[in-house]
Amino acid sequence: MQCLILAGGLGTRMQSVAPDLPKTLVPVAGRPFADHQLSWLRAEGVRRVIYAIGHHGEAVRAYAGDGRQWGLEIAYSDEGDARLGTAGAVHLAVHEGLLDGGFFVLYGDSYLRVDLSDVWAASGAGAWPLMTVFRNQGRWDSSNAKITDGMVILYEKGRVDTQALGMDHIDYGLSVLNRNVIGDNIGSGEPADLAHLFHRLSVDGQLRAFEATQRFYEIGSPQGLADLEAHLSAAGS
Protein backbone atom coordinates (compact mmCIF):
# COMPACT_ATOMS: atom_id res chain seq x y z
CA MET A 1 0.00 0.00 0.00
CA GLN A 2 1.12 3.55 -0.72
CA CYS A 3 0.12 6.85 0.84
CA LEU A 4 0.38 10.47 -0.27
CA ILE A 5 0.76 12.85 2.67
CA LEU A 6 -0.34 16.43 2.04
CA ALA A 7 2.24 18.54 3.88
CA GLY A 8 2.61 21.68 1.79
CA GLY A 9 0.21 24.08 3.51
CA LEU A 10 1.14 27.35 5.17
CA GLY A 11 -0.11 26.30 8.61
CA THR A 12 -1.21 29.82 9.47
CA ARG A 13 -3.16 28.79 12.59
CA MET A 14 -0.03 27.23 14.08
CA GLN A 15 2.27 30.22 13.60
CA SER A 16 2.01 31.13 17.28
CA VAL A 17 3.15 27.63 18.29
CA ALA A 18 5.87 26.83 15.74
CA PRO A 19 6.45 29.75 13.36
CA ASP A 20 9.43 28.19 11.59
CA LEU A 21 8.16 24.63 11.21
CA PRO A 22 5.72 22.92 8.85
CA LYS A 23 2.78 21.48 10.78
CA THR A 24 3.93 17.92 10.22
CA LEU A 25 7.11 18.62 12.22
CA VAL A 26 5.45 20.31 15.20
CA PRO A 27 6.56 18.52 18.39
CA VAL A 28 3.85 16.29 19.87
CA ALA A 29 4.54 14.36 23.07
CA GLY A 30 8.26 14.96 22.62
CA ARG A 31 8.46 13.79 18.99
CA PRO A 32 7.91 15.51 15.63
CA PHE A 33 4.36 14.79 14.55
CA ALA A 34 5.65 13.12 11.37
CA ASP A 35 7.25 10.42 13.52
CA HIS A 36 3.86 9.50 14.98
CA GLN A 37 2.28 9.46 11.53
CA LEU A 38 5.00 7.52 9.72
CA SER A 39 5.26 4.95 12.51
CA TRP A 40 1.50 4.40 12.32
CA LEU A 41 1.54 4.02 8.53
CA ARG A 42 4.34 1.44 8.70
CA ALA A 43 2.52 -0.52 11.41
CA GLU A 44 -0.63 -0.50 9.26
CA GLY A 45 1.14 -2.05 6.28
CA VAL A 46 2.02 0.97 4.16
CA ARG A 47 5.41 0.57 2.51
CA ARG A 48 5.70 3.64 0.25
CA VAL A 49 5.03 7.26 1.24
CA ILE A 50 5.03 10.32 -1.01
CA TYR A 51 5.16 13.68 0.69
CA ALA A 52 3.47 16.52 -1.21
CA ILE A 53 5.50 19.46 0.04
CA GLY A 54 5.72 23.20 -0.57
CA HIS A 55 6.07 25.71 2.24
CA HIS A 56 9.01 24.68 4.47
CA GLY A 57 9.36 21.59 2.30
CA GLU A 58 13.11 21.44 2.79
CA ALA A 59 12.57 20.82 6.51
CA VAL A 60 10.33 17.82 5.76
CA ARG A 61 12.97 16.37 3.41
CA ALA A 62 15.71 16.89 5.97
CA TYR A 63 13.73 15.11 8.68
CA ALA A 64 12.10 12.20 6.84
CA GLY A 65 14.85 11.54 4.28
CA ASP A 66 14.40 8.35 2.31
CA GLY A 67 12.26 6.76 5.03
CA ARG A 68 14.57 3.93 6.02
CA GLN A 69 14.33 4.98 9.69
CA TRP A 70 10.69 3.80 9.62
CA GLY A 71 11.17 0.91 7.21
CA LEU A 72 9.49 2.96 4.49
CA GLU A 73 10.36 4.19 1.03
CA ILE A 74 9.75 7.96 0.92
CA ALA A 75 9.68 10.19 -2.16
CA TYR A 76 8.73 13.86 -2.57
CA SER A 77 6.56 15.95 -4.86
CA ASP A 78 7.44 19.63 -4.46
CA GLU A 79 5.06 22.34 -5.64
CA GLY A 80 7.44 25.09 -4.51
CA ASP A 81 5.61 28.40 -4.37
CA ALA A 82 2.92 27.38 -6.87
CA ARG A 83 0.14 26.96 -4.24
CA LEU A 84 -1.70 24.28 -6.21
CA GLY A 85 -4.22 23.43 -3.50
CA THR A 86 -4.82 19.94 -2.13
CA ALA A 87 -6.15 18.38 -5.34
CA GLY A 88 -3.55 20.18 -7.44
CA ALA A 89 -0.82 18.74 -5.22
CA VAL A 90 -2.23 15.23 -5.71
CA HIS A 91 -2.33 15.77 -9.48
CA LEU A 92 1.30 16.91 -9.47
CA ALA A 93 2.44 13.76 -7.66
CA VAL A 94 0.48 11.59 -10.11
CA HIS A 95 1.81 13.54 -13.11
CA GLU A 96 5.37 13.08 -11.87
CA GLY A 97 4.87 9.31 -11.88
CA LEU A 98 5.25 8.92 -8.13
CA LEU A 99 1.96 7.06 -7.63
CA ASP A 100 0.79 3.91 -9.37
CA GLY A 101 -2.83 2.77 -9.37
CA GLY A 102 -4.73 3.47 -6.15
CA PHE A 103 -3.35 5.23 -3.10
CA PHE A 104 -4.29 6.68 0.27
CA VAL A 105 -4.37 10.45 0.71
CA LEU A 106 -3.66 11.63 4.26
CA TYR A 107 -3.43 15.16 5.62
CA GLY A 108 -0.08 15.92 7.22
CA ASP A 109 -1.72 17.10 10.45
CA SER A 110 -4.15 14.18 11.01
CA TYR A 111 -3.78 11.63 13.80
CA LEU A 112 -6.16 8.77 13.06
CA ARG A 113 -7.11 5.40 14.49
CA VAL A 114 -8.54 3.21 11.77
CA ASP A 115 -7.54 -0.12 10.19
CA LEU A 116 -5.99 0.76 6.84
CA SER A 117 -6.37 -2.80 5.54
CA ASP A 118 -10.14 -2.55 6.02
CA VAL A 119 -10.24 0.85 4.31
CA TRP A 120 -8.18 -0.47 1.41
CA ALA A 121 -10.46 -3.48 0.99
CA ALA A 122 -13.56 -1.24 1.00
CA SER A 123 -12.06 0.73 -1.89
CA GLY A 124 -11.55 -2.40 -3.96
CA ALA A 125 -7.79 -2.10 -3.40
CA GLY A 126 -7.85 1.41 -4.81
CA ALA A 127 -10.28 0.73 -7.67
CA TRP A 128 -12.95 3.12 -6.34
CA PRO A 129 -12.64 6.56 -4.75
CA LEU A 130 -13.44 6.40 -1.06
CA MET A 131 -13.72 8.81 1.86
CA THR A 132 -13.36 7.77 5.48
CA VAL A 133 -15.99 9.47 7.63
CA PHE A 134 -16.92 9.74 11.28
CA ARG A 135 -20.37 10.22 12.81
CA ASN A 136 -19.67 13.68 14.09
CA GLN A 137 -23.12 15.23 14.57
CA GLY A 138 -21.52 18.65 14.91
CA ARG A 139 -19.37 17.73 17.93
CA TRP A 140 -15.82 18.62 16.82
CA ASP A 141 -16.51 20.64 13.70
CA SER A 142 -19.35 21.21 11.26
CA SER A 143 -20.58 17.96 9.72
CA ASN A 144 -20.10 17.89 5.96
CA ALA A 145 -21.18 14.49 4.66
CA LYS A 146 -24.37 12.49 4.23
CA ILE A 147 -23.98 8.72 4.09
CA THR A 148 -26.45 6.20 2.67
CA ASP A 149 -25.85 2.48 1.98
CA GLY A 150 -22.09 2.76 2.11
CA MET A 151 -21.90 5.77 -0.18
CA VAL A 152 -21.22 9.45 0.42
CA ILE A 153 -24.27 10.85 -1.36
CA LEU A 154 -23.46 14.46 -0.45
CA TYR A 155 -20.21 16.02 0.65
CA GLU A 156 -20.04 19.77 0.97
CA LYS A 157 -18.22 22.09 3.32
CA GLY A 158 -19.70 25.28 4.69
CA ARG A 159 -23.38 24.35 4.65
CA VAL A 160 -25.45 25.95 7.41
CA ASP A 161 -28.37 23.54 6.93
CA THR A 162 -26.43 20.34 7.64
CA GLN A 163 -28.97 18.98 10.11
CA ALA A 164 -31.88 19.50 7.74
CA LEU A 165 -29.91 17.72 5.00
CA GLY A 166 -29.07 14.78 7.25
CA MET A 167 -25.34 15.50 7.16
CA ASP A 168 -24.33 13.72 10.38
CA HIS A 169 -20.80 12.73 9.32
CA ILE A 170 -17.52 14.54 8.85
CA ASP A 171 -14.52 13.84 6.63
CA TYR A 172 -12.11 11.80 8.79
CA GLY A 173 -8.96 13.03 7.04
CA LEU A 174 -8.15 9.94 4.99
CA SER A 175 -9.29 9.00 1.49
CA VAL A 176 -8.47 6.61 -1.33
CA LEU A 177 -8.01 7.89 -4.88
CA ASN A 178 -6.44 6.57 -8.06
CA ARG A 179 -4.71 7.88 -11.15
CA ASN A 180 -7.82 7.66 -13.33
CA VAL A 181 -9.98 9.72 -10.96
CA ILE A 182 -7.32 12.42 -10.74
CA GLY A 183 -6.67 12.47 -14.49
CA ASP A 184 -10.37 12.68 -15.32
CA ASN A 185 -11.18 15.49 -12.87
CA ILE A 186 -8.12 17.69 -12.25
CA GLY A 187 -6.36 19.77 -14.90
CA SER A 188 -2.57 19.76 -15.09
CA GLY A 189 -0.97 22.65 -13.23
CA GLU A 190 -4.30 24.08 -12.14
CA PRO A 191 -4.94 25.00 -8.49
CA ALA A 192 -7.73 22.76 -7.20
CA ASP A 193 -9.20 21.69 -3.88
CA LEU A 194 -10.01 18.12 -2.86
CA ALA A 195 -13.24 19.40 -1.28
CA HIS A 196 -14.53 20.31 -4.74
CA LEU A 197 -13.48 16.96 -6.19
CA PHE A 198 -15.18 15.04 -3.38
CA HIS A 199 -18.35 17.10 -3.77
CA ARG A 200 -18.49 16.28 -7.48
CA LEU A 201 -17.84 12.58 -6.88
CA SER A 202 -20.51 12.45 -4.16
CA VAL A 203 -23.32 14.00 -6.23
CA ASP A 204 -22.34 11.79 -9.17
CA GLY A 205 -22.72 8.67 -7.00
CA GLN A 206 -19.03 7.73 -7.27
CA LEU A 207 -17.74 8.19 -3.71
CA ARG A 208 -17.71 5.23 -1.35
CA ALA A 209 -17.77 5.68 2.42
CA PHE A 210 -15.88 3.93 5.19
CA GLU A 211 -17.09 4.80 8.67
CA ALA A 212 -14.40 5.05 11.34
CA THR A 213 -15.51 4.35 14.89
CA GLN A 214 -12.90 6.25 16.92
CA ARG A 215 -12.65 10.03 16.88
CA PHE A 216 -9.93 11.78 14.95
CA TYR A 217 -7.30 14.20 16.21
CA GLU A 218 -5.47 16.92 14.32
CA ILE A 219 -2.74 19.46 14.97
CA GLY A 220 -4.00 22.13 12.59
CA SER A 221 -4.73 24.49 15.48
CA PRO A 222 -3.36 25.09 18.99
CA GLN A 223 -6.52 23.57 20.48
CA GLY A 224 -6.19 20.49 18.28
CA LEU A 225 -2.58 20.09 19.38
CA ALA A 226 -3.59 20.38 23.05
CA ASP A 227 -6.33 17.75 22.57
CA LEU A 228 -3.88 15.31 20.98
CA GLU A 229 -1.27 15.89 23.66
CA ALA A 230 -3.90 15.14 26.31
CA HIS A 231 -5.00 11.99 24.48
CA LEU A 232 -1.47 10.66 24.12
CA SER A 233 -0.70 11.44 27.74
CA ALA A 234 -3.80 9.55 28.90
CA ALA A 235 -2.93 6.63 26.62
CA GLY A 236 0.66 6.54 27.84
CA SER A 237 2.09 7.09 24.36
Span 145-167, pLDDT tens digits: 999 999 999 999 888 887 888 88
Please state the domain extents for the chain. 2-235
Residue 203 CB neighbour total at 10 angstroms? 14
| Residue range 2-235, CATH number | 3.90.550.10
| Residue 29 backbone dihedrals phi, psi, to 5 degrees | 55, 40
Q: How far is CA 138 from CA 219, 228, 231, in A?
A: 19, 19, 20
If you average pLDDT over residues 220-231, what whole number do you get? 91
> For residues 139 and 122, what is the distance between their CA atoms, to the nearest angstrom?
26
In tens, the pLDDT along 28-79 reads: 999 999 999 999 999 999 999 999 999 889 999 999 999 999 999 999 999 9
Q: Name, in order, each residue with C-beta under 8 angstroms of 123's C-beta and a sequence gap of 6 or more.
A: 102, 129, 130, 176, 208, 210
Q: H-helix or E-strand containing 165? A: helix 162-165
